[in-house]
């Protein structure tokens, strides 16, 4: 039978605040266990939390980027539950007044062969503290509280998605957005972006079904796989006349299937109540101004604009603008080329260097595209190479050589080309003389060429012409502009 499916995501992102959300501890990932802790995040009695305003600002920036409204008053609640990774036995979170409300994003693109264009409503974004980390090794369980109290933003969608592909695209778009905003590194393996995926199916028109929550999805691909698996599993149950059990399931990446983890009692009661130790936060005009100032041109808009502005295809720009740093580098270089004629061709050449040589260099050196600024190559240098190449002053081969030099040691391409005498010869008189000398010296070849032309043997004629052009270029020490040599030669034979 045909069913309608409903998918809603709950995405947690670690905000890149230097310190934790309610204390001054360092929030960096990867330190020695239990070194980034203090009485507040260890939940000692009698200590007082204090809101990290930077976490609130980053949270509100994400909210704005997701078209959410920020309420006039926003506060925190205690969410009570007992678990060893929660030192206080409650988590400070937001319940009644999330900092971002009623937003949406437009999913746009193609994923796994599916064309997608869909509005997904964002129910809310709320700020909370992360829990510690439990590590189970054999019969021992270890606890690392470095993560306890790290700023966490939870983004909750309405169940507006229908396929694993849409959910994966949502995560990818969100990840790119928060990286552009500089508020999260989006690293799913390290857990700085975590997604829980809720899914149900039902007969068309019957509304939401019984929801299953999938956890343990530490890559966007697993989100897609788990959801598509789950939609299939639930359909089989309904086809067989069974019902779907409302439960939490885990994705088992070794068996490519979801497996039951726990049955969720009807709506857990966390006994939320307002956190008495933190005042209500009232975003004032000055605060909201800093939020607006943190907004950048968002990736989806930027990719569209860049494709149009530089006449490049969407696929290329999608790669070049995946990271904001690289997109910035590209646009600075493009601007510095400064060609009036042939700008479009120059942008294509520039894009090819980004997708080819520069990417290759980054990969070879184990560098992320975000580190493009740390290269010895700078936008002005790159622009110089492209400009000289497009003006015909250097050959594409020389351009590549100079690019390699700049990647290795930096420098000024004009100076490098001048010093090595690599500029192409484009003086017509000089080239004409070289061509005439070659034609005089190669009388037999010239005769062959004429014969080939008379016989209409185009293949042989073009290979003989190439031979003569090669000789003429060699006579100039390899420096004559091949286009001009071809042109002048063509006028003579
Ligand atoms: P809970 O109270 O169990 O946390 P919420 O209403 O807060 O549930 O929703 C959590 C997530 O589950 C949201 O992303 C929401 O869109 C999604 N969701 C809720 N009900 C369903 C359903 N029946 N089918 C699919 N997704 C659902
Ligand atoms: Zn602390
Ligand atoms: Mg919920």
Which residues, 6 or more positions from 278, have their beta carbon under 8 angstroms from its beta carbon? 22, 49, 50, 51, 75, 76, 92
Beta strands in 1-131 (DSSP E): 4-14, 77-80, 90-93, 100-111, 114-129
Give the integer Cα–Cα distance in Å for 64 and 347. Answer: 33
Cα 284 to ligand 3 centre (Å): 28
State the pLDDT at residue 232.
97
Give yes or no for residue 211 CB within 6 A of ligand 1. Answer: yes
Instruction: Compute the average pLDDT of residues 167-191.
Output: 96
Helices (H), 374-457: 379-390, 396-409, 413-420, 428-441, 443-454
**Which atom of ligand 1 is nearest to 157's Cα?**
14
Give the residue, by CA position, lying nearest to ligand 1 atom 13: 8
Give the integer Cα–Cα distance in Å for 357 and 66. Answer: 35
Cα 470 to ligand 2 centre (Å): 72
Give yes or no for residue 208 CB within 6 A of ligand 1. Answer: yes
In the chain, what are the domain boundaries? Answer: 4-292, 297-419, 428-492
- Cβ pair 25, 36 in contact under 8 A: yes
Work out the pLDDT band at 225, boundaries 50, 70, 90. very high
Cα 125 to ligand 1 centre (Å): 14
**pTM: predicted TM-score of the whole model, two decimal places:** 0.90
Work out the pLDDT band at 268, boundaries 50, 70, 90. confident
pLDDT above 70 covers a percentage of the chain that reads: 99
Which residues, 6 or more positions from 276, have their beta carbon under 8 angstroms from its beta carbon? none
State the pLDDT at residue 493.
81
pLDDT tens digit sequence for 33-46: 999 999 999 999 99
How is the chain split among helix, strand and coil, in percent rounded to 5?
45, 20, 35
Give the integer Cα–Cα distance in Å for 364 and 398. Answer: 22
**Which atom of ligand 1 is nearest to 10's Cα?**
14
Cα 161 to ligand 1 centre (Å): 12
Give the residue, by CA position, lying nearest to ligand 1 atom 11: 8
CB atoms within 10 A of CB 429: 7
Closest among 339, 337, 340, 381 to 357, alpha carbons compared: 381
Identify the burial level of 317 via C-beta atoms within 10 angstroms of its C-beta, where 0-12 means exposed, 13-18 middle and 19 or more buried: buried
**Which atom of ligand 1 is nearest to 213's Cα?**
12
- Cβ pair 58, 17 in contact under 8 A: yes
Closest among 230, 184, 229 to 61, alpha carbons compared: 184
pLDDT at 267 over 70: no
Give the residue, by CA position, lying nearest to ligand 1 atom 2: 267
Instruction: Compute the average pLDDT of residues 86-106.
Output: 97
Work out the pLDDT band at 465, boundaries 50, 70, 90. very high
Give yes or no for residue 9 CB within 6 A of ligand 1. Answer: yes
Cα 202 to ligand 1 centre (Å): 15
CB atoms within 10 A of CB 413: 25
pLDDT at 265 over 60: no
Give yes or no for residue 159 CB within 6 A of ligand 1. Answer: yes
CA angle in degrees (0–180, nearest 5) for 106-107-110: 150
Give yes or no for residue 156 CB within 6 A of ligand 1. Answer: yes
Give yes or no for residue 8 CB within 6 A of ligand 1. Answer: yes
Alpha-carbon separation of residue 128 from 42, 90, 305 (angstroms): 16, 11, 35
pLDDT at 263 over 80: no
Mean pLDDT of the chain: 95
State the pLDDT at residue 325.
96
Work out the pLDDT band at 266, boundaries 50, 70, 90. low
Give the residue, by CA position, lying nearest to ligand 1 atom 17: 8
Pocket test for ligand 1, best of 11, 159, 196, 238 (most atoms within 8 A of CB): 159
Strands 247-252 and 212-217: parallel
Q: By mean pLDDT, which of 121-135, 253-267, 460-474 is the weakest?
A: 253-267
Instruction: Please identify every residue whose CB atom is under 5 Å from ligand 2, which is an ion.
Output: 23, 25, 38, 40-41
Give yes or no for residue 435 CB within 6 A of ligand 1. Answer: no
Cα 7 to ligand 1 centre (Å): 8
Cα 43 to ligand 2 centre (Å): 9
């Amino acid at each position: 039978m045909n069913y309608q499916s409903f998918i809603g995501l709950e995405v947690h992102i670690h905000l890149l605040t230097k310190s934790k959300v309610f204390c001054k501890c360092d929030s960096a990932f990867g330190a020695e266990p239990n070194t980034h802790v203090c009485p507040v995040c260890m939940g000692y009695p009698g200590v007082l939390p204090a809101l990290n305003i930077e976490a609130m600002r980053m949270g509100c920036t994400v909210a704005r980027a997701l078209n959410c409204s920020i309420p006039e008053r926003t506060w925190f609640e205690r969410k009570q539950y007992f678990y060893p990774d929660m030192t206080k036995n409650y988590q400070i979170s937001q319940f009644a007044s999330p900092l971002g409300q009623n937003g949406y994003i437009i999913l746009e693109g193609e994923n796994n062969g599916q064309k997608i264009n869909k509005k997904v409503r964002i129910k809310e974004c709320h700020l909370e503290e992360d829990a510690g980390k439990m590590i189970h090794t054999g019969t021992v369980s270890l606890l690392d509280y470095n993560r306890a109290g790290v700023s966490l933003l939870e983004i909750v969608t309405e169940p507006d998605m229908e396929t694993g592909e849409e959910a994966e695209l949502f995560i990818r778009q969100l990840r790119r957005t928060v990286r552009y905003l500089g508020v999260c590194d989006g690293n799913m393996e390290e857990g700085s972006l975590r997604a829980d995926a809720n899914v149900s199916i039902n007969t068309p028109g019957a509304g939401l079904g019984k929801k299953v929550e999938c956890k343990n999805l530490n890559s966007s691909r697993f989100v897609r796989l788990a959801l598509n698996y789950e939609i299939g599993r639930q359909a089989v149950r309904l086809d067989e006349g069974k019902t779907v059990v409302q439960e939490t399931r885990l994705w088992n990446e070794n068996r490519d299937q979801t497996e039951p983890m726990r049955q969720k009692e009807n709506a857990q009661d966390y006994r939320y109540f307002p956190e008495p130790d933190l005042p209500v936060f009232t975003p004032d005009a000055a605060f909201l101004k800093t939020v607006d100032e943190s907004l950048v041109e968002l990736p989806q808009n930027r990719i569209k604009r860049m494709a149009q502005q530089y006449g490049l295809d969407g696929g290329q720009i999608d790669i070049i603008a995946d990271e904001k740093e690289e997109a910035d580098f590209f646009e600075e270089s493009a601007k510095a080329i400064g060609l009036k004629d042939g700008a479009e061709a120059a942008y294509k050449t520039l894009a090819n260097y980004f997708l080819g040589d520069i990417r290759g260099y980054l990969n070879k050196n184990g560098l992320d595209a975000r580190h493009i600024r740390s290269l010895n190559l700078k936008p002005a240098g790159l622009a110089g190479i492209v400009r000289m190449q497009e003006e015909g002053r250097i050959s594409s081969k020389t351009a590549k050589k100079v690019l390699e030099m700049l990647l290795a040691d930096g420098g000024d391409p004009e100076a490098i080309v001048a010093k090595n005498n690599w500029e192409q010869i484009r003086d017509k008189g000089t080239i004409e003389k070289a061509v005439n000398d070659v034609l005089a010296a190669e009388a037999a070849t010239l005769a062959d060429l004429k014969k080939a032309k008379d016989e209409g043997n185009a293949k042989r004629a073009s290979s003989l012409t190439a031979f003569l052009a090669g000789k003429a270029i060699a006579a100039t020490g390899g420096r004559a502009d091949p286009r001009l040599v071809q042109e002048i030669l063509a006028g003579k034979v």
